Structure 1
C-alpha cells in the first residue's frame, strides 16, 4: 500500500483512531507514517514511527528520514541538538486553527490527508507520509 491508499482506507475513522493490523503492517512494511492528534495535547505517530510528541495548544515535531529527531543531551538548550533541528524537516501540529477541526498539521513533507470524526463531526485532519520522502 502507498500513502494515498492508506489515507483513503482510514479516512472517516472515529476518534480515537484504531488502525487495523493489516493496514498497520502494510504501512510499516513500506516505511509509511500515520500522524494524528490525540486528546488535546499529543501528536501521535503510528506504523513506521511509533511515538508521540507533546503539543498542548500546538507544537512542532522534527524529523529526518530515520524518524523523529530526539535530543540526546541532558540539556534542553543543547547547541548540538539546535543545529540538528535547523536541518530537520518539521510537522507543525495546529490546535483549533482550521475550520471545525481540533487538530490539523502543516508540513513540507509530501503527504496525503485523512479525516477522523468524533460525535459525527470533524476532529482531526491527519497526515500520511513515507519516511523516504522526508528531506534531510
Structure 2
C-alpha cells in the first residue's frame, strides 16, 4: 500500500481520528512503513503506523522524524546513551510542523519537507484536520562518510 492509497482510504474520516482509523489501517501502515499524522484535541500531534508517538503541541509545535521513526522528546531522556543516540538521530531527522488554526476552516494542518499525501478529518460536516501520511523510507539516512 502506498501513502497515497492509505490517505485516500482515510479521507473524510470523522473526528476523533483515533477512533476512526481502524486496526486494519494501522496494520497496513505498519507493514508498509507508513506513518499517519493527525491532530487531537487542541494540544496533540498523533503518529500511528510504522512509528507511534504522541507529541504535545499546544498552540502548535513540531516533531522530528528519521528513518527509524519519531524521535523522543529530548526532555524525557535520562541517560547519556539515550542523549547521544538522540543527538545522532537528530542530524538526519526531518521536522513536521503542527500548525494550530493557521488555515481557515482547520484546527490542525501540517508542514514538512517529507514527501507525503494528505487526508481530511471531519467534525460535524466541517474540516477539523488535514492529516498526512508519509513513508519512513522517504527520509534520507544519515551519511556519516
TM norm structure 2: 0.84
Deviation at 1:11, TM superposition (A): 0.4
| Number of aligned positions between the proteins | 134
1:39 corresponding residue in structure 2 = 41
1:59 corresponding residue in structure 2 = 61
Q: Hey, which of these two has a bigger chunk of helix by percent? A: 2
Give the superposed CA RMSD.
2.0
**Secondary structure in structure 2 of the residue aligned to 1:5:** helix
Cα deviations by residue, 1:80-131 (Å, 9 ceiling, x for unpaired): 5567545420000000001210000000000000000001100000000001
TM norm structure 1: 0.89
1:22 corresponding residue in structure 2 = 24
Asked whether the equivalents of residues 89 and 135 of structure 1 are also in contact (C-alpha less than 8 Å), the reply is no
Unaligned 5+ runs, structure 2: none
Q: Which residues in structure 2 correspond to 1:1-136 (within 5 Å)?
A: 1-17=1-17, 18-70=20-72, 71=74, 73-74=77-78, 81=86, 84-85=89-90, 87-136=92-141
Deviation at 1:3, TM superposition (A): 0.4
- Between the aligned partners of 1:84 and 1:21, the Cα distance in structure 2 is 29
Asked whether the equivalents of residues 66 and 89 of structure 2 are also in contact (C-alpha less than 8 Å), the reply is no
